[in-house]
Amino acid sequence: MNGTNSINPSRQVKITADTTCDLSDAVLKKYDIDLVPLYVTLGTTSYRDKFEISPGDLYAYVKQTRKLPKTSAVTTQDYLDIFTPYKLAGRSVIHFTISSSMSTCYQNAVCAAKELGNVFIVDSANLSTGIGQLAVRAAELAASGLDAERIIGSITEMIPKVDTSFVIDTLTYLHKGGRCSAVAALGANLLSLKPCIEVRNGAMGVGKKYRGSLAKCLSHYVSDRLQNRSDLDYRRIFVTHSQLPPHLAETIIKQIGKLGPFEEIIETEANCTVCTHCGPGTLGIIYLKK
């Protein structure tokens, strides 16, 4: 990540987000963003995503049991516990949730906000660092001194400009989670197909399907998304992945640097909620359009 200066945490607007934003600790610290964890259940035990369980724990559980963990939304009480101290300190809160069509987090957060007042909930209509793009920009605006209403106005215009997509190495996790039939999963695996999943209007859809090794597929995917584009905002791009070999992530980041003059290329790793559905070997690039 480029840049190490911290943003002044004394600003009057506090930015928070669900752990599904997949922002790294370094980014969270730089922009003074607090996380509210979703829950990941292994067997009969629930854990707070990122705080009590890691993707490594999740994948080990799946390998051992051949069962997929379950995920559940942040509760209204959890949101109240996070928001209340800021409200008592006289600060406004802007919170970013995963798309309301993917989880009840948004509805639960709205309930908490209504109870407290001066808390604003943003339905990101997105997931992973698609949420992160919005939260980071909101933090920048808060640091510049804008009030909550003006930040919300700017972010609302930005939501449709977020371009989120990722390539999946295996359909096993989507199949186990009920999002892909056994026949489709078997066929894709036999043909070495790597589908590109795109977020459209707050929901996930299947885009182009790539064939071959993961390295080859990711290279073609990145070129398809970034090459010969005149409609991109080059301020910031996220490269978010799940248990991808380090050398492969580095190769992709170098490729991105050659395809566009991005001011920041930020690498992050997906947290457990996202990993539960995409599985290991997933990589996505998330950027803004003008």
Question: Does residue 136 carry a pLDDT above 90?
Answer: yes
Kindly indicate the confidence band of residue 193, based on its pLDDT and cuts at 50, 70 and 90. Answer: confident
Judge if 155 and 200 occupy the same domain.
Answer: no
Q: How confident is the model at residue 56, as a pLDDT?
A: 95
Q: How confident is the model at residue 221, as a pLDDT?
A: 98
Q: Are 38 and 273 in contact (CB under 8 A)?
A: yes
Q: How confident is the model at residue 127, as a pLDDT?
A: 95
Q: How confident is the model at residue 183, as a pLDDT?
A: 37
Judge if 72 and 188 occupy the same domain.
Answer: no
Judge if 173 and 137 occupy the same domain.
Answer: no
Judge if 213 and 100 occupy the same domain.
Answer: no
Judge if 235 and 254 occupy the same domain.
Answer: yes
The residue from 159, 182, 210 where one domain ends is: 159
Determine the structural domain holding residue 199 and report its residue range.
162-289
**What's the mean pLDDT in 153-181?**
80
CATH code, domain with 106: 3.40.50.10170
Q: Is 8 among the domain residues?
A: no
Distance between CA atoms of residues 195 and 184, nearest Å: 11
Question: Does residue 175 carry a pLDDT above 80?
Answer: no
Kindly indicate the confidence band of residue 207, based on its pLDDT and cuts at 50, 70 and 90. Answer: confident
Kindly indicate the confidence band of residue 76, based on its pLDDT and cuts at 50, 70 and 90. Answer: very high
Q: Is 216 among the domain residues?
A: yes
Question: Does residue 3 carry a pLDDT above 50?
Answer: no
CATH code, domain with 253: 3.30.1180.10
Sign of CA dihedral 173, 177, 178, 182: positive
On average, the pLDDT of the chain sits at 90
Residue with tokens 């990589």: 283
- pLDDT by residue (tens digit) across 230-239? 999 999 999 9
Count of domains for the chain: 2
Q: How confident is the model at residue 7, as a pLDDT?
A: 46
Q: How confident is the model at residue 94, as a pLDDT?
A: 98
**What's the mean pLDDT in 125-143?**
97
Q: Quickly list H helices, 89-245.
A: 105-116, 129-143, 148-158, 172-176, 182-190, 214-226
Which one, of 162, 137, 161, 163, lies nearest residue 151 by Cα? 137
Strand 203-211, strand 232-242: pairing: unpaired
Q: Are 259 and 225 in contact (CB under 8 A)?
A: no
Question: Does residue 177 carry a pLDDT above 60?
Answer: no
Residue with tokens 């050398």: 247
pTM confidence score? 0.91
Question: Does residue 9 carry a pLDDT above 70?
Answer: no
Distance between CA atoms of residues 85 and 101, nearest Å: 29
